[in-house]
Structure 1
Amino acid sequence: MSTQPHYFIAVNLPIEIKEKIKEAREGLKHSFPFKKWVHPLDYHLTLAFLGSSSKEQLQTLINLLHNQIHKERSFYLQISTLGFFGDSDKPRVFWLGVKEEKKLHSLRNRVYEECGKSEFTLEKRTFHPHITLARKWEGENFSRSMLNEKNLLEEKLAFQVDSIQLFQTHVEKEPKYEAIYTFRFSEG
């Protein structure tokens, strides 16, 4: 079966943050029976899902982003909440959210603008920054109150964002996301 690779632009998490989330999620697996838990090396925060692409279209986007992203300044994100997408009794995506950060929204808007110039068709949904932990609820009686009962992290997790990456998806592998290009922010 031949499938075209898909691409996306994301904030990659530092390895030490991925490890702390991995440790914390082990305590969640019993209370939250999801079918598929994301490989810890695949934890990221998506800014723009691109879908499939030609090499030329990707190269155009790389050039545009390279010229714009280096102007960005680093900032911090703090992981803050558990949440879900989908039906309240049978969620399809279980995630970690981050505290509101204007610089993240500004960065996402800049990425979207450059993707549009590269003729990518992007989602129109409201940006809800999150790190996906798991997919496809398999349990019974999911309740929003379950999210408040579980303290995922005993310590506050914050990390510096000083770059974004272009990822390629390999559906047949695990981990399945490969960073193929890094866009670094300016220093300071």
Structure 2
Amino acid sequence: MSIEPHYFVAISLPDQVKEHIAAAKQALKHPFPFQKWVHPEDYHLTLAFLGSSSADQLQLLAEQLDKKICESDAFSLQIDRLGIFGNVAKPKIFWLGVKEEKKLTSLQNKVYDECKKVNFKLETRPFHPHITLARKWKESTFPIEALQQKNPFVHKDLSFSVQSIEIFQTQVNKEPKYEKIHTSLF
């Protein structure tokens, strides 16, 4: 049975930031034993999950993003915290967060608007910008207090410039599993 590809719009991380996160991840694996750690090439910050799509719909979205996103200004994001999604005792997602940035929220709103214009059905949950590090907690209880104590990003200035967004295709049976299929530059 063939798995249909899924797509999403995201901000890619620069290679040097991916490398820094990958190195810091090694220090996190022992205190935070998750089942599946994300491949460093797959680090990104999702703006909109699209699901499955036709080639025509993706092409139309790419054209719309090129027109609207080029009006955006570059901005910087700073990684500043660790967090979890899901049950506090047994979380599903372990992530890195970024400092609040109004330009990021504005960009995400623009992306959502363009996705809706080409009939993508989007999630309605509030936007929580993050970079997924790992999935599926494998111990009995998550050490919530360790999030700040073991955070290798707290005293680092791990910031990066955002100058483009990409449409990615998910390739479930490959690693890394996300492939850029379109880039829209600011």
How big is each residue's C-alpha offset from its partner over 1:35-87, in whole Å with a ceiling of 9 and x where there is no partner?
Answer: 00000000000000000000111111111111101111100000000000000
Q: What residue in structure 2 maps to residue 49 of structure 1?
A: 49
Following TM superposition, where does structure 1 have runs of at least 4 consecutive aligned residues deviating by more than 3 angstroms?
none
Matched, 1:171 2:172: yes
Deviations 1:150-171 (A, max 9, x none): 1222522000000000000000
Identity %: 59
User: For structure 1, which segment, 97-106 or 54-63, has the greater mean C-alpha deviation from structure 2 after superposition?
Assistant: 54-63
Aligned to 1:102: 102
In structure 2, distance between residues paired with 1:171 and 1:60: 24
The answer to whether structure 1 residue 155 and structure 2 residue 152 are counterparts is no
What are the residue-to-residue correspondences of 1:4-19 with 2, within 5 Å?
4-19=4-19
**Cα separation, 2, equivalents of 1:169 and 1:72:** 26
Task: Give the 3-state SS of the residue equivalent to 2:29 in structure 1.
Answer: coil
2:157 maps to amino acid: K
Question: Which residue identity lines up with residue 157 of structure 1 in the other structure?
Answer: L
Give the total of aligned pairs.
Answer: 185
Secondary structure of 2:172's counterpart equals coil
> What are the ranges of 5 or more consecutive residues in structure 2 without an aligned counterpart?
none
Displacement of 1:140 after TM fit? 2.4
Gaps of 5+ in 1: none
Greater mean alpha carbon deviation, residues 1-10 or residues 101-110: 1-10
TM-score normalised by L of structure 2: 0.98
RMSD of aligned residue pairs (Cα, Å) = 0.7
Q: Structure 1 length normalisation: TM-score?
A: 0.97
Partner of 2:185: 184
